[in-house]
């Protein structure tokens, strides 16, 4: 799901690896970030403690998929790097554990170097070869498209060069067709899996219609890493809209019938903060994902808790995780954690709770199970890094209409994210090529707990939707209970005063009730920095927003009123709610 990774010169000097300034944003690549993220992170072996109680009633036959996806670049222009050794070592480990593995080739790795020959000689029958769709000089020349990389760079990570959004719609089709022709020449078939950090709906629709691609994968939420920001996209898997690859289709007529999966195994709890706490008073830096080159991906607690979430926690219709690592980080950086992660995954598979399979097979499984994007949940019920003094948990709900995050920061309960989707909202650079080295792709928010905070990334609660009775924020007084009911998720939270706060997430919206009902009404208070928010107008039963020229609104159950810090929704009968679905 999401994670903020902003770099500034001051951040490097202080080794604060997730500092953000709205006025100064330096572009940095993932590999460059590794130099500053602090690699000597040893995680304490702390027994995980469940932070919530699960009740029966979940969706029978929920689809839980884990893909091992390693992608291979043919060149690394920024310095010496053995790009072949990671393939050899990763292959040895996959074969030793019998793990189905997906190998995605960038065009230069497809047409040059030892990669294809090695894969043909060593990959198992249940392995898959697909496409890593970032542009490079060989690819552009083959397609007859101008190469705009920096001098001496055969591959360049800037978004205007590496990603489809940097090319015109005609150029995108040429690049896609050239890759498909060459892939078929080498492998005899068209690929079934295509991934990139950044894609667009025009390219996806073309690849689905003309080449039968079964699965796409894109980056998790991030800020300014590799020169691009993604924020607000779905948490796991979805059918994209023909107008926006970061947004689920609402109408079947606007749906690309190939699912998109989010990559990298994102920590769902701490990624709104500049860093994450770890046992013993330490603080981790770098992206908090399952990537084995980062401190998070090396943490035994995080590996265990993340895989447990995918396999056992409430998920409604679908759960997904991608493990693996790109080769241009080099084998030494992944040599410690990569084998441990693969061993943990092999053990998890033996329990029979998840499908460990190729990316293409997960795409086909998704298409068999769902005709439209299903409701899904990520519920991290343990502190992901094993903290016991200041525990945080998070519960994410996702439908094709919206996503929501209910966050528990110690005993404070609040909404941290509300994002809506619409087929009327085109993605940035859908039909025009960007020339920028720093691009933003943010979905329309009703609440953005990161960007709308006065101090984005702070460890203290920022922008949020707070539950208030008699002027006081409600506080957790016991273990939450989480229950799945059909396509809905119910969270019951014991709060002070011997009361229970019940939050019910449904496909088109959510409701909040407090019981027993008292004389004082329940208020959902949205608080943020008004200069950063997209709020436009507040009427008693309709609240309007505008983001990048797109107008959207939510309906209310209860009475809404503007406040100095945002707006508040008050229910006279102990309940409030929001109708999140936009017009189809």
Per-residue pLDDT of 196-241, as tens digits, reads 999 999 999 999 999 999 999 999 998 767 777 889 999 999 999 9
Top pLDDT among 336 and 58 is at 336
> Would you give the DSSP letter of residue 316?
B
Cβ atoms 166, 145 nearer than 8 A: no
- Nearest alpha carbon to residue 139 among 102, 182, 170, 168: 182
Look at residue 381 and tell me whether its pLDDT is greater than 90.
no
CA atoms of 19 and 285, how far apart (whole Å): 10
End-to-end CA distance of the chain: 25
Residue 305 main-chain phi, psi, to 5 deg? -70, -35
Top pLDDT among 387 and 39 is at 387
CA atoms of 18 and 20, how far apart (whole Å): 6
Cβ atoms 263, 480 nearer than 8 A: no
- Sorted by sequence, the CB contacts under 8 Å of residue 125 that are 6+ apart come out as none
Top pLDDT among 251 and 3 is at 251
Look at residue 6 and tell me whether its pLDDT is greater than 60.
no
- Sorted by sequence, the CB contacts under 8 Å of residue 145 that are 6+ apart come out as 135, 167, 171, 174, 175
Q: What is the pLDDT of residues 268-315, one digit of tens each?
A: 999 888 788 888 878 887 788 999 999 999 999 999 999 999 999 999
- DSSP for 105-154 reads E-HHHHHSSSHHHHHHHH--TT-EEEEE----HHHHHHHT----PPTT-S
- Sorted by sequence, the CB contacts under 8 Å of residue 127 that are 6+ apart come out as 94, 100, 101, 102, 103, 358
CA atoms of 423 and 251, how far apart (whole Å): 8
- Sorted by sequence, the CB contacts under 8 Å of residue 259 that are 6+ apart come out as 215, 216, 237, 238, 239, 363, 366, 367, 370
Q: What is the pLDDT of residues 61-109, one digit of tens each?
A: 789 999 999 999 999 998 899 999 999 999 999 999 999 999 999 999 9
Quick one: average pLDDT of 496-523?
Answer: 93
- Nearest alpha carbon to residue 299 among 315, 313, 279: 279
How much is the mean pLDDT over the chain? 89
Indicate the domain borders of the chain: 64-463
- Give the Å distances, CA to CA, from 405 to 45, 62, 395, 413, 551: 28, 21, 6, 11, 22
Confidence band, pLDDT 50/70/90 cuts, at residue 184: very high
Q: What is the pTM of this model?
A: 0.90
Query: Which CATH number is associated with domain 64-463?
Result: 3.20.20.510
Instruction: Say what the pLDDT of residue 228 is.
Output: 78
CA atoms of 90 and 101, how far apart (whole Å): 9
Top pLDDT among 51 and 273 is at 273
């Amino acid at each position: 799901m999401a994670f903020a990774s902003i770099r500034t010169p001051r951040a490097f000097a202080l080794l604060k690896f997730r500092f953000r300034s709205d006025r100064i944003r330096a572009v940095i690549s993932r590999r460059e970030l590794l130099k500053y993220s602090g690699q000597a992170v040893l995680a304490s072996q702390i027994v995980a403690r469940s932070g919530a109680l699960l009740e029966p009633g979940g969706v029978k036959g929920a689809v839980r998929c884990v893909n091992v996806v390693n992608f291979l670049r043919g060149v690394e222009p920024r310095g010496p790097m053995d790009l072949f050794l990671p393939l050899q070592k990763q292959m040895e480990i996959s074969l030793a554990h019998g793990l189905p593995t997906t190998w995605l080739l960038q065009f230069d790795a497809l047409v040059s170097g030892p990669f294809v020959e090695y894969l043909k000689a060593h990959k198992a029958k249940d392995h898959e070869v697909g496409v890593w769709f970032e542009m490079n000089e060989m690819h552009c020349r083959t397609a007859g498209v101008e190469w705009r990389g920096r001098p001496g760079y055969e591959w360049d990570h800037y978004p205007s060069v590496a990603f489809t959004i940097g090319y015109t719609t005609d150029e995108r089709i040429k690049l896609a067709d050239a890759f498909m022709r060459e892939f078929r020449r080498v492998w005899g078939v068209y690929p079934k899996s295509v991934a990139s950090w950044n894609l667009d709906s025009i390219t996806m629709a073309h690849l689905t219609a003309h080449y039968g691609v079964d699965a796409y994968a894109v980056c998790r939420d991030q800020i300014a890493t590799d020169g691009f920001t993604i924020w607000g996209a779905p948490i796991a898997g979805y059918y994209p809209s023909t107008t926006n690859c970061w947004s689920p289709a609402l109408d079947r007529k606007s749906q690309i019938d190939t699912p998109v999966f989010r990559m990298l195994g994102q920590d769902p709890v701490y990624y709104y903060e500049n860093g994450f706490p770890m046992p013993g008073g330490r603080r981790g830096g770098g992206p908090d994902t399952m990537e084995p080159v980062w401190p998070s991906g090396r943490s035994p607690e995080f590996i265990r808790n993340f895989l447990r979430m995918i396999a056992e926690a409430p998920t409604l219709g679908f759960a997904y995780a991608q493990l693996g690592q790109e080769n241009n980080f080099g084998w030494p950086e992944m040599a410690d954690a990569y084998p441990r992660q693969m061993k943990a995954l092999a053990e998890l598979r033996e329990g029979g709770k998840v499908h460990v399979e190729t990316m293409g097979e997960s795409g086909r499984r998704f298409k068999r199970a769902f005709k439209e994007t299903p409701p899904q949940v990520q519920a991290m019920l343990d502190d992901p890094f094993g903290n016991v003094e200041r525990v945080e948990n998070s519960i994410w709900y996702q439908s094709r209409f919206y996503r929501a995050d209910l966050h528990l920061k110690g005993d404070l309960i609040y909404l941290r994210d509300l994002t809506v989707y619409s087929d009327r909202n085109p993605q940035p650079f859908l039909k025009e090529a960007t020339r920028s080295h720093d691009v933003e792709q943010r979905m329309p928010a009703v609440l953005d707990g990161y960007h709308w905070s006065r101090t984005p990334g702070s460890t203290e609660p920022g922008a949020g939707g707070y539950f208030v009775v008699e002027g006081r924020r409600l506080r957790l007084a016991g273990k939450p209970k989480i229950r799945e009911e059909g396509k809905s998720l119910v969270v019951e939270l014991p709060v002070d005063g011997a009361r229970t706060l019940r939050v019910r997430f449904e496909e088109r919206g959510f409701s909040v009730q407090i019981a027993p009902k008292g004389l004082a009404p329940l208020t959902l208070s949205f608080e943020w920095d008004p200069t950063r928010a997209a709020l436009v107008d507040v009427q008693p039963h309709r609240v309007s927003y505008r983001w990048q020229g797109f107008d959207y609104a939510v309906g209310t159950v209860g009475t809404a009123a503007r406040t100095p810090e945002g707006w508040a929704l008050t229910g006279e009968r102990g309940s409030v709610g929001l109708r999140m679905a936009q017009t189809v």
